[in-house]
Structure 1
């Protein structure tokens, strides 16, 4: 029996997810300033996905719906327990945190298939779903954000209760602490069963307080402002004064934005070094050859682009995310250009590991794009933010619809040609020559909203 298990052993999965790391915050995606040698090497040895998107969410804490989509492979309006009951006036309800119990999660499916599932770091999707998915864990943070030293962390609770009074405040920087636990797990794993090691960092989310050595790598005066830097957003997008937007002065000041970017890059480089330690542990333990490494983020954020600071919007800087995969079953040095969505990661990993896919997964495996059998998996991607913004993009043409809600928001549209205008600076909505694109995208967006039962349709 032991020999039979060894013959059919599935690859391990090391799943690394960052918080607030936008797609262009890596050297591999063309950023000439930030230093990410480990992630760049991972991209060079594996697959880099150029056009991966999040679906947004109904809450300003966008890490909740983004991670829910990733973990369940389902659309953003179906992923959390309260989605169908949420009204427009209750979008910050913490009931949104808990995953829809009718949906199987990636850890659950892999655990049922014989994987040893082990969770480390941030889990913002309810204690019950963590307990169902993971057979082990360490330094678990049930929450959205906190200081990187002093996070309330839980040891693994086999009963899955995790009482708040049992949390212990950390005394080590979060990225280092989570990497330490991942390394301990890798070196201690001796079983024949494959593992899913899920490591969820709280970096580079604010407070952006990189250790001094990494802060010293970036000086604000040397940091270029993005091409679409603005002192203020040109209109009310429905969420101009949420917490994230108030972390810098209004109107935006160039020097202050440069400092935010310097701190952000310092956090990312420190994170990159910690990931390097984990990858080295894989190599030292002999697990490197049979482990799929995944690196992604829940969403991005603005940091001065379009006059915004946070991620509560549907511009590229906030919904376009990095995704790197490297390991057995994957080619080396491949860049995938076709459109993809977070919900596609779940079925991709199931195909790579030969794991039966749950019937509740709506995503599509990215393997046809990876192998080159297909150049297009999705004709369009979609995203939503609360009851004030909706988006569709076909990869070139991008349409954003804004709605008024009470005394916030504006009834207007934007149309961008991402080929000619990747920074989304020239709104073509009033161009008579582009009306066919607008009509086409509006119709496709409406059909998607109807198919996923977008609650906005019942209130607009």
Structure 2
């Protein structure tokens, strides 16, 4: 089919390039005020689109937060109703999406889109098979070395047996980008496409190729204001894999090196996304394509004395979310509260696609249209059976539990004023003047837990000594 006809069809219902990164925390983009990291391509998408700066993940019930976060993004449903698996909290990887739940790519396919996947899925193969009618360089693993990536070719049967898996040596970010570019260049269908590109960067091992590996000098890397040598109490997950990536107590020089390597991975990823953008422009369909950029969760990398994402501080639960394309305002940074379960409804709304009845997320399209200021009064997040969080955008309450399963964790709360303390350095929970704020947030957290089907909804939100 002639490309001008493809462009016409795309203008009526836009093509979609949905990009999801692994471990990219919300503030680590230069356009968002980080003066160290270099992200010119993402900056350009922010300048020509809308960035939803206050988007939080729903959370996870195991240390592998990637899988439940991706399930929330692709179903628009809280993990307690989107996923299945006995004893989800204590299983190392709980990744199975319920078979009766319709996913974002599955819904787009039903609306006439050709759905094509590249890269990391990390949920079950059955949910993948019912969502995509094509794909390339597919991996169902949580992580790997970036130059030793176990991948599959697309399998029409949906089985993806182990014997069909093979190793690719091209650096993962470049590998996935190259096949995404090929898909765009070769596309000739008379229907719009939904291209899902799931990177494994900037997840460790943080081994960016040159010249990116040498882009950041660790001696020039500023430590974040909330750097700590040690976290002041047991969060319930102090000895997991991620926390062992740096020595205890945390050393300033070592943390600077980790941040430099993290930023190198992000800048390399940014450049590769630029190749996708250029392919869309060369095809003549850039202006008719909705580009979405997000991540499955954030990462501490030394903040609060932590290294991983197994916590509910902003660096771990707040993610980048950028929309650019038809129906999206240009040059807007939106600070309304959002959850990652809202991403699917927003994509559907921008594409004129009806949502499945079971979807629980809320479209951000009315905010884009200027009809309302926000869709949520609060957002919450969960981690295993040891942490729960709620924020109204200014005040944030984190509730910590002691796990009977692992005998880890601490019975306590933290309260932060994100307006005056965005780095969460001052716990205000002990100040008597804040008792009313704590009680209000505790009530909202309890209601949110019940509405979400939280497995801890019957546990008290406040520890008995919190207001003594």
Q: So what's the TM-score if we normalise by structure 2?
A: 0.95
Answer yes or no: is the 8 Å Cα contact 2:61–2:88 preserved in 1.
no
Equivalences for residues 5-404 of structure 1 within 5 A: 6=9, 9-82=12-85, 85-86=86-87, 90-92=90-92, 94=93, 96-404=94-402
1:419 is matched with: 419
* Cα distance, 1:260–1:87 mapped onto 2, change above 3 Å: closer
* Cα distance, 1:397–1:143 mapped onto 2, change above 3 Å: same
User: Could you list the per-position Cα deviations for residues 215-249 of structure 1 after superposition, in whole angstroms to 9, with x for gaps in the alignment?
Assistant: 11101111000000000100001000010000000
Answer yes or no: is the 8 Å Cα contact 2:147–2:168 preserved in 1.
yes
| SS of structure 1 residue aligned to 2:16 | strand
Q: So what's the TM-score if we normalise by structure 1?
A: 0.96
Answer yes or no: is the 8 Å Cα contact 1:62–1:311 preserved in 2.
yes
Q: More deviation in 403-412 or 317-326?
A: 403-412
Answer yes or no: is the 8 Å Cα contact 2:10–2:192 preserved in 1.
no
Provide the rounded CA distance (Å) in 1 between the counterparts of 2:100 and 2:387.
27
| SS of structure 2 residue aligned to 1:78 | helix
Answer yes or no: is the 8 Å Cα contact 2:48–2:330 preserved in 1.
yes
User: Could you list the per-position Cα deviations for residues 186-228 of structure 1 after superposition, in whole angstroms to 9, with x for gaps in the alignment?
Assistant: 0111111000000000000000000021011101111000000
User: Could you list the per-position Cα deviations for residues 106-163 of structure 1 after superposition, in whole angstroms to 9, with x for gaps in the alignment?
Assistant: 0000001110000000010111111100000000011100000111100000110101
* Cα distance, 1:449–1:7 mapped onto 2, change above 3 Å: closer
1:451 is matched with: 451
Answer yes or no: is the 8 Å Cα contact 1:53–1:320 preserved in 2.
yes
Provide the rounded CA distance (Å) in 1 between the counterparts of 2:457 and 2:30.
40
Provide the rounded CA distance (Å) in 2 between the counterparts of 1:362 and 1:370.
19
**Which 4+ residue blocks in structure 1 deviate beyond 6 angstroms?**
2-5
| SS of structure 1 residue aligned to 2:130 | helix
Answer yes or no: is the 8 Å Cα contact 1:388–1:402 preserved in 2.
yes
Provide the rounded CA distance (Å) in 1 between the counterparts of 2:116 and 2:12.
18
Gaps of 5+ in 2: 461-468
Provide the rounded CA distance (Å) in 1 between the counterparts of 2:54 and 2:388.
18
Provide the rounded CA distance (Å) in 2 between the counterparts of 1:446 and 1:343.
19
Report the CA distance between 1:457 and its aligned residue. 3.1
| SS of structure 1 residue aligned to 2:13 | coil
Provide the rounded CA distance (Å) in 2 between the counterparts of 1:137 and 1:245.
34
2:435 is matched with: 435
Report the CA distance between 1:9 and its aligned residue. 4.1
Provide the rounded CA distance (Å) in 1 between the counterparts of 2:452 and 2:27.
29
Provide the rounded CA distance (Å) in 1 between the counterparts of 2:422 and 2:393.
11
Report the CA distance between 1:459 and its aligned residue. 6.4
Provide the rounded CA distance (Å) in 1 between the counterparts of 2:10 and 2:68.
38
Report the CA distance between 1:376 and its aligned residue. 1.9
Provide the rounded CA distance (Å) in 1 between the counterparts of 2:258 and 2:9.
50
Answer yes or no: is the 8 Å Cα contact 1:77–1:452 preserved in 2.
yes
User: Could you list the per-position Cα deviations for residues 275-304 of structure 1 after superposition, in whole angstroms to 9, with x for gaps in the alignment?
Assistant: 000100000011212100000000001000
Provide the rounded CA distance (Å) in 1 between the counterparts of 2:110 and 2:10.
19
